[in-house]
Structure 1
Amino acid sequence: MMGVWEIVLRSLLAFALMMVIARIMGKPTIAQMTYHDFVASITLGAISANLAFNDKLAVWKILTAVIVFSGIAYLLMVLSLKNRILRKWLSGEPTVLIQDGKILERNMKKLKVSLDMLNQELRAKAIFNIEEVKYAILELNGHLSVMRTSDSMAVTIKDLNLKSDTKLSFPIELIMDGTVISNNLKQNGISEKWLDAELHKKNLSLEKVNYAVINSEGKVIFDEYEDHIRHAIDRE
């Protein structure tokens, strides 16, 4: 039987190996789980589990299996990027579930999607009436993309022919978990002296701030550890 330290070392090795493989596969694979990605992740997870706990198999044999299977998964991923037919076979393709407010039952049945699941996805997008949907498409990663009908779309500034002087930019996080994010300050030419001045304007100290960010409109927002809410809603 394996000793405790051997289990610990094998587990650390399995975890490190999976982290390396995840890095090689890239963020899109993690964020968008297709059929191919799902099969690869399940199989690699099972092999890694054997690496951690199965003392009947030699470590080098399990490592060989991981490397070979990872190579196959990576090769298929690269080939699918270059070949549309192979990509469709490995990953599938987007499927229309609603068209012009009408549910396409044949497609729903083919993908084994229930009406409850469809309604849940629509409600998550604040859509409670199917008539408001022009198209609803189930994407490769399992997410539902929805195009509303023209009369149910939200009105924008452009629609009202109004001019907006507000320039939006990417938010800049300044403080997280009470710690100043020095890299963000340097990359954006922000000094700690300026940050201290902003804290002083709000009569705050760094110890009291949980999170601080310059939002997309250029405003500095501070979130304190003390919320100052008399009746906080706490539901499980």
Structure 2
Amino acid sequence: MLTHVLGKKQLSQMTFFTYITGIALGNIAGDMVVHRDIKLIDGVTGLILWALLTFTLEFISLKSSKARVLLDGEPTIVIKNGKILEKAMASNKLNMDDLSMLLRLKNIFSVKDVDYAILEPNGQLSVLKKVELEPVTKKDLKITSSSRLYLPTELIVDGEVVKKNLQELNLSEEWLNQQLLLQGIHKLEDVFFAELQSDGSIYIDKKTDNE
């Protein structure tokens, strides 16, 4: 509950600060379970106080850019215009093996393919390839494309209709049943998974037991 109150940023451990606070919350909770000499009320009080402290500091960081830099850190450019910045690498305790590994995780196997590389506060590497190596887009090829009608959304999971998603899409169960009939499916129980596609069509995966 406390982690939920602190928000999704805490769950993802996006920054050094959220990483440390997450470990601290887990450690306090673990001590409550392992050490029998710790009273339940003392453990809960510790959890609440730590969560309040974390929430307060996060709120301050939202209001103050200086506090945000202090708590979350700043991104660091480690490759600029194809040139490796040795000082930036050293200040972040990053060696060439580390950099090569982070680049491979981006499916880049040569430093010469990189125009810019930025080490983010969470330790991830953001990479901008050289212009000639960037993937071609429809805009580059001047191909016209229609806008998406829907965001791909689950409609049936394990034979059960996801009514909430239907309501959000302003679609009815009658419409869904008609779509199933058009694909030769007469019983909802025969469907394991169904997903509405961006163009309005439906992808259906039938239960193998019923084939």
Same fold (TM over 0.5): yes
Q: Which residue of 1 aligns with 2:132?
A: 151
1:112 and 1:224 map into 2 onto residues whose CA distance is: 51
Identity of aligned residues (%): 37
After TM superposition, the structure 1 = structure 2 runs for residues 57-96 of structure 1, keeping only pairs within 5 Å, are 57-96=38-77
Partners of 2:33 and 2:104 in 1: how far apart? Answer: 42
- What's the CA shift for 1:46? 0.9
What does residue 210 of structure 1 align with? 192
The TM-score normalised by the length of structure 1 is 0.79
Counterpart for residue 221 of structure 1: 203
Choose the corresponding residue for 1:41, options 19, 22, 29.
Answer: 22
- What is the CA–CA distance in structure 2 between the aligned matches of 1:126 and 1:209, rounded to whole Å? 37
**What whole-Å deviation, never above 9, does each CA across 1:51-101 have from its counterpart, x for those lacking one?**
223220222222222122111111111111111111111111111122222
Structure 1 runs not aligned, ≥5 long: 1-19, 228-236
Contact 2:10 2:22 in 1 (8 A): no
TM-fit CA distance, 1:127: 2.2
Distance in 2 (CA, whole Å) between partners of 1:38 and 1:51 is 20
Cα shift readout 1:106-161 (whole Å, capped 9, x = no counterpart): 32233233434433332333322322221111212222211122111111121122
TM-score by length of 2: 0.87
Shift of 1:166: 4.5
2:104, 2:204 → 1: CA distance?
31
Q: Distance in 2 between matches of 1:158 and 1:96?
A: 29
1:100·1:131 contact (CA, 8 Å) conserved in 2?
Answer: no
Instruction: Tell me the equivalent position of 1:177.
Output: 158
Helix, strand or coil for the counterpart of 2:165? helix
TM-aligned CA distance change 1:225 to 1:144, over 3 Å: farther
Q: Which moved more, 1:21-30 or 1:168-177?
A: 168-177
| CA contact 1:210–1:225 (8 Å) conserved in 2 | yes
Q: Matched residue pairs, number? A: 208
Residue 158 of structure 1 aligns with an amino acid whose one-letter code is: K
Amino acid at match of 1:215: Q
Gaps in structure 2 of 5+ consecutive residues = none
Identify if the C-alpha distance between structure 1 residues 165 and 64 changes in structure 2 by more than 3 Å, giving closer, same or farther: closer
> Following the alignment from structure 1 to structure 2, what is the Cα–Cα distance between the partners of residues 157 and 48?
51
Residue pair 2:9, 2:18 contacting (<8 A) in 1 also: no
Paired with 1:54 and 1:215, the residues of 2 have a C-alpha distance of 52
RMSD between aligned residues: 2.1
Q: Which residue of 2 aligns with 1:12?
A: none
Residue 216 and residue 128 in structure 1: after superposition, are their counterparts in 2 closer, same or farther (change >3 A)?
farther
Written as runs of structure 1 = structure 2, the 5 A alignment for 1:185-196 is 185-196=166-177
